[in-house]
Amino acid sequence: DIQMTQSPSSLSASVGDRVTITCRASQGISNYLAWFQQKPGKAPKSLIYGASSLQSGVPSRFSGSGSGTDFTLTISNLQPEDFATYYCQQYNSYPLTFGGGTKVEIK
Amino acid sequence: EVQLVESGGGLVQPGGSLGLSCAASGFTFSNYWMSWIRQTPERGLEWVANIKRDGSEKYYVDSVKGRFTISRDNAKNSLYLQMNSLRTEDTAVYYCARDDLNGGSGDYWGQGALVTVSS
């Protein structure tokens, strides 16, 4: 199985900050990577597919990059509604696997 | 509007069985692969299984193979998960999710159904 490792596991940031979350795959997954946002008590919401393509309706302050084993999710100009937990998911091979999550908290 | 609504969660004893259903609306159900994904505070998000548009292909995570069965009824716009020989470690919130046409699972998710396996 492909292991997905996210870092950091949590971070504190202020409104307006630029935040970067990393996700590393235990083997190469090309660009078969998605990012999700989850708020407490809610289902995850898809943000990015194909490592860098934004889902419809997702604000442009979210961006993704990377290929192979190393990926990043960047949130520029952090907004109050962005405080949440973020997960990466690889879909290069079965079983599909998720990272452990990064909680973005208010500083 | 895409909607996925799970039902069937509840409390079951170890070794027991439970079935989950997911009613889909707002899109052409038969055009999409569908997945079940579960979540616990301890283990996070775990993809469980998915099924091809016509039901001809199914994939499972190893920990549920031989115990869980994913199925669908395109005429009823419904997805199912039959869970047998349940274990305490199967306790989780189970989400129904639509697989993204661009790849991956979960461009839309249901609200989740809690399954608790306990004596």
Q: Please tell me which of the candidates A91, A100, A101 has its beta carbon nearest to residue B105.
A: A91
Whether residue A94 contacts residue A2, with contact meaning beta carbons closer than 8 Å, is answered with no
Residue ranges of chain B whose CB lies within 8 Å of a chain A CB: 35, 44-47, 50, 59-62, 95, 100, 102-112
Radius of gyration, alpha carbons of chain A: 13
* B107 with A87: Cβ contact below 8 A: no
Residue to test with chain A: of B33, B35, B45, most A Cβ within 10 A: B45
Q: Is A45 on the interface with B (CB under 8 A)?
A: yes
User: By the 8 A CB rule, do B80 and B21 touch?
Assistant: yes
Q: What is the full per-residue pLDDT of chain B (119 aa) written as tens digits?
A: 999 999 999 999 999 999 999 999 999 999 999 999 999 999 999 999 999 999 999 999 999 999 999 999 999 999 999 999 999 999 999 999 999 887 788 999 999 999 999 99
Phi-psi region of A91 (alpha: psi -120 to 50; beta: other; left: phi over 0): alpha
DSSP letter for A20, please: E
For A90, the closest chain B residue by CA position comes to B104
- Span A35-66, pLDDT tens digits: 999 999 999 999 999 999 999 999 999 999 99
For the segment A61-92, what is each residue's pLDDT rounded down to a tens digit? 999 999 999 999 999 999 999 999 999 999 99
Q: Do B44 and A94 count as a contact with CB atoms less than 8 A apart?
A: no
Rounded to 5 degrees, what angle do the CA atoms B90, A2, A40 make? 50
A32 contact partners, CB below 8 Å, separation of at least 6: A50, A51, A90, A91, A92, B103, B104
Top residue of B27, B42, B47 to mutate, by most chain A CBs within 10 Å, is B47
Q: Chain A: give the shortest CA distance to residue B1, in Å.
A: 13
Q: Which residue in B44, B59, B109 is closest to A98 by CB distance?
A: B44
Distance CA B35, CA A46 (A): 14
| Partners of residue B95 in chain A, C-beta under 8 Å | 43-44
